[in-house]
């Protein structure tokens, strides 16, 4: 029943075309060849996202810890990037972007383990019919997302987690939390596959032929991750990256407990200069993250860039002025923290919202995250060292929900794409708020549950095997000397 294909859920699902990731399905040589402009942009976007992790995130976080722990943060982030790199090409890419058979709702399979069948000639689909990019650049681009997500968690238990424990935890976390989440949200067959099936249905006569075509189309639309099928909208990773890492961080800092002297001693950032450098590079790199998620270099890419500019600026100023009013001084840390909050919030919305909607989103994200970090955290009294939860999880939730509203063309949004009605060309489906918000809400809740519960289990396992936390004396001496036998500075 064609109706099924106009059901909001499916439209939402197809809307996921707007998502970060095309399928990894290698196209036959007959398939369209990549446009070199798209390829050039995706190569650059990949470099930009790597720069977000190292040195960007490492410096943003590192500057916020005390001198004696600076080097440990840098080491943790850099090591995670390298670890995930090897895991990704070994089985991560396959687990994320292949059909997982019976488990396909939740995770992919091993058909592309060790990048089997992936070479310089294979391509990956984008969100435009007939437009593809070299699969290897798609693998690299996706890899940088898998690298930075676990690195984000580091901030929650910085200054006290054992390096060996961290290494073990991250290997487990990407395997059991990240790859499945990414599969659930981002795996699908690509526009051409959908179009072909839809065309088949359209051209099919009646009776058997029609039924067969219908079945085929059902199969095609069913060959996607669970949240994708629900129709959650996430342009560049609000759920997979930020909510996912944010909740894992919260669970982590609760399990590890507070740092010695928390609430008593002056645990001031050792170098806001480094934090500002990190924040700036994160902003610059985030254009690769958000605009790159369009997988092409076109007008929508430019829209994502624009949204990534204005939401960030709005959130940065919102935090600055709210803090100025509340505490009497406009701070650099507030300014850059707001910028990150804005970047996080606009991530899922970047290709769906309009510029003005993004400004509103940024203002809200900046103000709410400030309240959370400045008041709620101290009220609840947990020690989320660098506010991974307060900024990434809260900001991610705000963004995920706001996306469902701002995508509305009536609010200047890009609307929800529909690849079925007119097979082969992109049309915008009718907007139904209830349906979209329901899908967004479910996506957020599943992410919180999967990552929250899953991470808790992994922390416990690691605690049993190597122990999560360093000794009191080591914590006092600082992780740099205790864990790594080096000092960040010898002035």
Partner 1 sequence: MKIVMAIIKPFKLEEVRDALTAIGVHGLTVTEVKGYGRQKGHTEIYRGAEYAVSFLPKIKIEVAVSTDLVPSVVDGITAAARTGQIGDGKIFIMPLERAVRIRTGETDADAL
Give me the least distance between CB of 284 and a copy of itself, in Å please. 5
Residue from 115, 331, 428, 474 in contact with partner 1 (CB under 8 A): 331
Radius of gyration over every alpha carbon of the chain, rounded to an integer in angstroms: 22
**If binding is defined by CB under 8 A, does position 337 make contact with partner 1?**
yes
Give me the least distance between CB of 474 and partner 1, in Å please. 11
**378 touches, from a copy of itself, partner 1, none (C-beta below 5 to 8 Å by class):** partner 1
**105 touches, from a copy of itself, partner 1, none (C-beta below 5 to 8 Å by class):** none
Q: How many residues bind a copy of itself (CB under 8 A)?
A: 108
Nearer to partner 1, 36 or 329 (CB): 329
CA distance 244 to 176: 12
Question: Are 18 and 185 contacting, i.e. CB atoms less than 8 angstroms apart?
Answer: no
Among residues 79, 77, 76, 71, which one has the least CA distance to residue 53? 77
Q: At residue 20, what are phi and psi to the nearest 5 degrees?
A: -60, -35
Contacts of 457 (CB under 8 A, 6+ apart): none
Of the listed pieces 53-61, 100-108, 195-203, 367-375, which binds a copy of itself according to CB under 8 A?
Answer: 53-61
In the region spanning residues 113 to 132, those forming contacts with a copy of itself, defined by CB under 8 A, are 114-115, 119-122
Sign of the torsion formed by the C-alpha atoms of 342, 343, 349 and 355? positive
Pattern 278-307, a copy of itself, x by CB under 8 A: -xxx-xx--xx--x----xxxxxxxx-xx-
* Beta-strand runs (E) in 13-153: 123-125, 132-134
Of the listed pieces 193-201, 213-221, 261-269, 470-478, which binds a copy of itself according to CB under 8 A?
Answer: 261-269
Residue from 27, 46, 290, 435 in contact with a copy of itself (CB under 8 A): 46
Residue from 243, 359, 368, 446 in contact with a copy of itself (CB under 8 A): 359
In the region spanning residues 190 to 229, those forming contacts with a copy of itself, defined by CB under 8 A, are none
Q: At what angle do helices 8-15 and 208-222 cross, to 10 degrees?
A: 50
Question: With 0-12 CB in 10 A as exposed, 13-18 as middle and 19+ as buried, what is 370?
Answer: buried
In the region spanning residues 250 to 269, those forming contacts with partner 1, defined by CB under 8 A, are 261, 264-269
Full DSSP string of 195-238: HHHHHHHHH--STHHHHHHHHHHHHHHHSS-HHHHHT---SS-I
Q: How far apart are the first and last CA of the chain?
A: 73
Residue from 90, 121, 273, 378 in contact with partner 1 (CB under 8 A): 378
Pattern 148-177, a copy of itself, x by CB under 8 A: ---------------x--------------
Question: Are 245 and 77 contacting, i.e. CB atoms less than 8 angstroms apart?
Answer: no
Nearer to a copy of itself, 171 or 202 (CB): 171
In the region spanning residues 451 to 480, those forming contacts with partner 1, defined by CB under 8 A, are 476
Of the listed pieces 3-11, 88-96, 332-340, 398-406, which binds partner 1 according to CB under 8 A?
Answer: 332-340
**If binding is defined by CB under 8 A, does position 51 make contact with a copy of itself?**
yes
Alpha carbon 246 to chain centroid distance?
11
Pattern 365-394, a copy of itself, x by CB under 8 A: ------------------------------
Q: Which helix (H) or strand (E) holds 264?
A: none
**If binding is defined by CB under 8 A, does position 442 make contact with partner 1?**
no
CA distance 152 to 293: 19
**If binding is defined by CB under 8 A, does position 333 make contact with partner 1?**
yes
Of the listed pieces 7-15, 349-357, 431-439, 469-477, which binds a copy of itself according to CB under 8 A?
Answer: 349-357
Give me the least distance between CB of 338 and partner 1, in Å please. 11
132: left (phi over 0), alpha (psi -120 to 50) or beta: beta
Q: What is the DSSP letter of 124?
A: E
Nearer to partner 1, 19 or 70 (CB): 70
Residue from 327, 356, 433, 457 in contact with partner 1 (CB under 8 A): 327
Question: Are 306 and 290 contacting, i.e. CB atoms less than 8 angstroms apart?
Answer: no
Give me the least distance between CB of 251 and a copy of itself, in Å please. 25
DSSP SS3 for 304: helix
In the region spanning residues 65 to 84, those forming contacts with a copy of itself, defined by CB under 8 A, are 66-67, 70-71, 74-75, 78-79, 81-83
Among residues 217, 143, 150, 183, which one has the least CA distance to residue 16? 183
Give me the least distance between CB of 265 and partner 1, in Å please. 7
Among residues 69, 60, 71, 70, which one has the least CA distance to residue 277? 60
Give me the least distance between CB of 361 and a copy of itself, in Å please. 13
From residue 408, give the alpha-carbon distance in Å to each of 65, 332, 403. 41, 35, 9
Residue from 25, 182, 374, 448 in contact with partner 1 (CB under 8 A): 374
224: left (phi over 0), alpha (psi -120 to 50) or beta: beta
Residue from 274, 373, 462, 470 in contact with partner 1 (CB under 8 A): 373
Chain residues that interact with partner 1, rule: CB under 8 A: 261, 264-269, 323, 327, 329, 331, 333-334, 337, 370, 373-375, 377-378, 387, 476, 481, 485-487
């Amino acid at each position: 029943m064609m109706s099924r294909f106009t059901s909001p859920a499916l439209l939402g699902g197809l809307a996921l075309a707007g998502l970060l990731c095309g399928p990894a399905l290698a196209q036959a040589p007959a398939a369209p060849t990549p446009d070199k402009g798209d390829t050039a942009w995706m190569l650059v976007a990949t470099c930009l996202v790597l720069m977000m992790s190292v040195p960007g995130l490492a410096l943003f976080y590192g500057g916020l810890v005390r001198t004696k722990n600076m080097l440990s943060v840098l080491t943790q982030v850099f090591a995670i990037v390298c670890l995930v790199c090897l895991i990704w090409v070994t089985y991560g890419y396959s687990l994320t972007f292949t059909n997982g058979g019976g488990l396909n709702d939740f995770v992919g399979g091993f058909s592309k383990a060790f990048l089997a069948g992936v070479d310089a000639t294979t391509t990956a689909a984008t969100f435009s019919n007939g437009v593809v990019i070299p699969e290897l650049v798609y693998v690299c681009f996706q890899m940088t997302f898998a690298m930075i997500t676990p690195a984000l968690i580091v901030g929650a238990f910085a200054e006290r987690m054992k390096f060996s424990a961290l290494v073990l935890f991250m290997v487990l976390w990407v395997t059991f939390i990240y790859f499945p989440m990414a599969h659930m949200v981002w795996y699908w067959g690509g526009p051409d596959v959908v179009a072909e099936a839809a065309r088949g249905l359209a051209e099919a006569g009646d009776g058997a032929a029609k039924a067969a075509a219908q079945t085929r189309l059902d199969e095609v639309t069913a060959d996607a991750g669970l949240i994708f099928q629900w129709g959650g909208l996430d342009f560049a990773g609000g759920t997979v990256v930020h909510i996912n890492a944010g909740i894992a961080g919260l669970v982590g800092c609760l399990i590890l407990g507070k740092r010695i002297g928390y609430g008593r001693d002056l645990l001031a950032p050792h170098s806001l200069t480094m934090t500002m450098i990190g924040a700036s590079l994160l902003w610059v790199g985030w254009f690769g993250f958000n605009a790159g998620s369009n997988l092409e270099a076109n007008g929508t890419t430019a829209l994502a860039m624009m949204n990534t500019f204005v939401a960030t600026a709005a959130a940065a100023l919102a935090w600055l002025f709210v803090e100025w009013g509340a505490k009497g001084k406009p701070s650099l840390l507030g300014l850059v923290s707001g910028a990150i909050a804005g970047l996080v919030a606009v991530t899922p919305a970047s290709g769906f919202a309009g510029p003005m909607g993004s400004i509103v989103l940024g203002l809200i994200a900046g103000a709410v995250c400030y309240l959370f970090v400045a008041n709620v955290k101290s009220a609840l009294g947990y020690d989320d060292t660098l506010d991974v939860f307060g900024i990434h999880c809260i900001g991610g939730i705000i963004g995920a929900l706001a996306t469902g509203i701002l995508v509305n063309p009536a609010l200047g949004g890009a609307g929800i794409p529909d690849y079925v009605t007119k097979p082969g060309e992109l049309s915008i489906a009718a907007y139904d708020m209830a349906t979209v918000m329901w899908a967004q809400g479910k996506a957020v809740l599943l992410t919180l549950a999967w990552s929250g519960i899953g991470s808790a289990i992994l922390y416990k396992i690691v605690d049993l095997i190597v122990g999560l936390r360093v000794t009191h004396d080591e914590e006092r001496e600082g992780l740099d000397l205790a864990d790594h036998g080096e000092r960040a500075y010898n002035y």
